[in-house]
Amino acid sequence: MSPPRQRLTSIDATRGLIMVVMALDHARDFLGFKAFNATDLAKTTVPFFMTRWVTHFCAPGFMLLAGTAAYLAGKSKPELSRFLLTRGLWLVFAELTVIHFAWTFTFTNPRLMVIWALGWSMVLLAALVWLPSRWVAVLSIATIVLHNAFDGIRAAPLRDAAGVSTGTAGDWVISLLHQGNTPVGYPLIPWVAVMALGYVMGPIFTMEPDRRQRLLVQLGLGALGAFVALRALNVYGDPAPWTTQPSSAFTVLSFLNVTKYPPSLAYLLVTLGPLFLVLAAFERMTLKREGPLVIFGRVPFFYYALHLGLLHLAAVAVGLAQGFEAQQFVGPFWKFPKGFGLSLGWVYVAWAGAVLILFLPSRWFAALKARRKDWWLSYL
């Protein structure tokens, strides 16, 4: 029997908040100075670090809520499995073409990033939905908790300095599944487990609202408590232990400086915990269907592709104003010309402007999806 189809504004608003925060990270990527890595404690500042750190919540939210949305889609298992398979393969294709072009304005040397991982996670979830939910829950939680035990298995570089493939088949397997390695930005483990966890959490969102809210708060506080305890022990859960720094503020930053590539257990605890609390908070609010967060959350792929192209074009415009040539901005953002970039304050201004510009086309596309039931609209 299929679960009833449900569309909760709390989930849409949470996804929309993720989209807005994600745009901040990408505004920093495209338009900010590249003098140092924002999480390099030897060079960063608290504002730079926190600007980057707060955006860590985006990818886990993408994955978890995609799994939850799959459960709430109201499809039979054959229909859901077929949809996840085809949409997942479409997302993989889109990452290698449309999304890669928006990132770089080229079609060469694509990187395997979040949409790629989202797509393959859907393909794997298409198989997992046939298992009993309790098995999927055990597998997903075990993968999230235990995958750091394999951090010692390392692959050699997959490409040399000239971009020529040098990795063996084993190196590719390790990189694609767990380690990550240029060009693999998002290995599948544990991302697929996060999506599967979202799927088995789907029944929570069919509960009576008060019970649902209490459970989400308990899950959020439990995850954050587990993060603090695990990180304090400093022996497992993240390949980069925290260390005492010259100031108390930077010691806190070191404590928070968890590993995203691939996402460690500590990283997932400190990001999914607040996500559950945000879901619970939105559950208590009266959210308007035409509100910006709800609208953004209903057209995530459309917003994602559009915001990348918009921010890349903004980088070209700023570069021309700073005396650079347009062709210097063809390629990945970390290869933009030396000396290019805006201060952090102007990055925030550009981020706000981009979100405002994105609202009208997102509202139009959300209305189109609500008005029409063409099969292809469910893939965008």
Give the list of residues 6+ apart from residue 113 with CB closer than 8 angstroms, or none: 95, 99, 103, 185, 186
pTM given for the model: 0.94
Query: For the segment 287-328, what is each residue's pLDDT rounded down to a tens digit?
Result: 888 899 999 999 999 999 999 999 999 999 999 999 999 999
User: Can you say whether the dihedral through the CA atoms of 193, 197, 200, 206 is positive or negative?
Assistant: negative
Query: For the segment 254-264, what is each residue's pLDDT rounded down to a tens digit?
Result: 999 999 999 99
Residue 165 bridge partners (DSSP): 159
Q: Two tokens at 339? A: 């000396």
For residues 269 and 176, what is the distance between their CA atoms, to the nearest angstrom?
23
Summary mean pLDDT of the chain: 94
Instruction: Determine, yes or no, domain membership for 2.
Output: no
Instruction: Determine, yes or no, domain membership for 4.
Output: no
Burial of 210 (0-12, 13-18, 19+ CB in 10 A): exposed
Task: Band the pLDDT of 166: cuts 50, 70, 90.
Answer: confident
Find where tokens 């939850």 sit. 68
Domain count, the chain: 1
Instruction: Determine, yes or no, domain membership for 120.
Output: yes
Range of the domain at 249: 9-379
Taking residues 17-23, report their average pLDDT.
Answer: 97
Instruction: Determine, yes or no, domain membership for 356.
Output: yes
Instruction: Determine, yes or no, domain membership for 317.
Output: yes
Residue 5 has pLDDT above 70, yes or no: no
* Separate counts of helices (H) and strands (E) for the chain: 15, 0
Query: pLDDT at position 220, please?
Result: 98
Task: Band the pLDDT of 3: cuts 50, 70, 90.
Answer: low
Alpha helices in 57-187 (DSSP H): 58-71, 77-94, 100-104, 114-128, 133-146, 169-174
Find where tokens 């003098």 sit. 35
DSSP state of 159: B
Query: pLDDT at position 1, please?
Result: 46
Residue 124 has pLDDT above 90, yes or no: yes
Task: Band the pLDDT of 269: cuts 50, 70, 90.
Answer: very high
For residues 101 and 249, what is the distance between their CA atoms, to the nearest angstrom?
39
Instruction: Determine, yes or no, domain membership for 336.
Output: yes
Residue 6 has pLDDT above 60, yes or no: no
